[in-house]
Amino acid sequence: MQLATTYVLGELDRVCNQLGLNYAAYGGTAIGAVRHQGFIPWDDDADVCMARADYEKLLAQAPALLGEDFELLSHHSHANYPGTVAVLGLKGTKFISQAAAGRDFEMPIGVDIFPLDARPANQRAFKAQCARTWVWSRALYLRGSATASTGLSGGVDKAVQLAMRTVHTGLKTAHLSQAKLIKHWESAARSYEKQAGAKTWLADFSTRNPQQWSLPAAELKNTVELPFEHLTIKLPANYDTWLKRGFGDYMTPPPPQQRVGHRPYRLEFGGWHFNEDGSHSRDPQ
C-alpha cells in the first residue's frame, strides 16, 4: 500500500513542478517526512495541501500531463464524486474505506489533495465561515452514509444514530444530490477569496477544526524539500510551527494502542507490483 502510494506521490510532485504549482505534504504525511523520512510505519495513505488557486490550476491542467498510470478525480471530473478534496489515483486499484462501504463511487489508491481557502481576519466572520462549511460537509457525509461512529454509548448513541438516519433519509427524499451539497460547501469555503486582505491566512475547511489547520499564505509559498522514502517532497519552511499547531508534540509517537491505520473495507491492487527501490510492474490486463 505504501509503495503504491509513493508511486502516485512522485507523479504528483513531478506534475506540480512542471506546472509551477506549490504544494505541501499535509497531516500524517508531513509528520512522516520529518520524523521518519517516509511514511509513519502504521500509516497507509498520503495527503498534500495547496492554496485554492493552485488547486484549481492542477484540476484544469494536470490531466493532460499525467502519465498513463494515473487519473485525477474530483467533483469536476466525475458527477457522482463524493468528496470535497481531489484524489490523484493509480488506475486499476481500489481503496474503499470503512466509511465509504456501500457507496456508488469507488476510490483508487492515491494521494488526497486538500484545497486551502482564504479566511477572514475578523474572528466572528471566520467562525461563521467554519460553521457554514461544517454544516454542508456533515450533510454531504450523511447523504452518502446513514450512520457513523460517534464515540458515544447506550441510549445517547442510539438517539444520535436515529437522528443521522433521519437526516440521511431526508436528504435523499429532498433530492439533494452530492453535487449540490459540494457546491454549497465550496461556496462557503471560498466566500472570502475575493476580499482584500483575506488571503493573508489560509485554512482547510474540510476538517472539523479549520482554526487548527490554518497557516499564513506566505508559508505555503516558502517551502523546503525533505526526503520521503525514495522521493523528495515539499513542506512549508516553517513546518515545525505548523505541525505543533496541528498535533502538539508531533515528534513523540503515540502509544502502541493508537498506532492504527485506516483499515480499508476493500483493497485491490489491480495487478500492480512494487519494490522498495521504487521499481514497479503490472500484470497484463
In a domain, 218, yes or no: yes
In a domain, 260, yes or no: yes
d(CA 122, CA 146) in angstroms, rounded, equals: 36
2-19 and 52-61 helices, crossing angle to 10°:
100
d(CA 112, CA 265) in angstroms, rounded, equals: 18
Length of the chain: 285
Report pTM: 0.90
Poorest-pLDDT segment among 3-12, 16-25, 151-160, 219-228: 151-160
Q: Is the pLDDT of residue 27 over 80?
A: yes
- Domain interval for residue 240: 2-119+199-282
Instruction: For 47-64, write each residue's pLDDT tens digit.
Output: 999 999 999 999 999 999
In a domain, 44, yes or no: yes
Instruction: For 171-220, write each residue's pLDDT tens digit.
Output: 565 566 888 899 999 999 999 998 866 678 999 999 999 999 999 999 89
Q: Is the pLDDT of residue 226 over 60?
A: yes
Instruction: For 262-285, write each residue's pLDDT tens digit.
Output: 778 899 999 999 998 999 999 998
In a domain, 163, yes or no: no
Q: Is the pLDDT of residue 114 over 70?
A: yes
Segment 230-254 mean pLDDT = 95
In a domain, 79, yes or no: yes
In a domain, 133, yes or no: no
SS (H, E, C) the chain: CHHHHHHHHHHHHHHHHHHCCCCEECCHHHHHHHHHCCCCCCCCCEEEEEEHHHHHHHHHHHHHCCCCCEEEECCCCCCCCCCCCEEEEECCCEEECCCCCCCCCCCCCEEEEEEEEECCCCHHHHHHHHHHHHHHHHHHHHHHCCCCCCCCCHHHHHHHHHHHHHHHHHHHHCCCCHHHHHHHHHHHHCCCCCCCCHHHEEECCCCCCCCCCEEEHHHHHCEEEEEECCEEEEEECCHHHHHHHHHCCCCCCCCHHHCCCCCCCEEECCCEEECCCCCEEECCC
Nearest Cα neighbor of 109 from 6, 11, 182, 12 is 6
Segment 134-147 mean pLDDT = 75
In a domain, 225, yes or no: yes
Q: For the chain, how many structural domains are there in total?
A: 1
pLDDT value for 263: 78
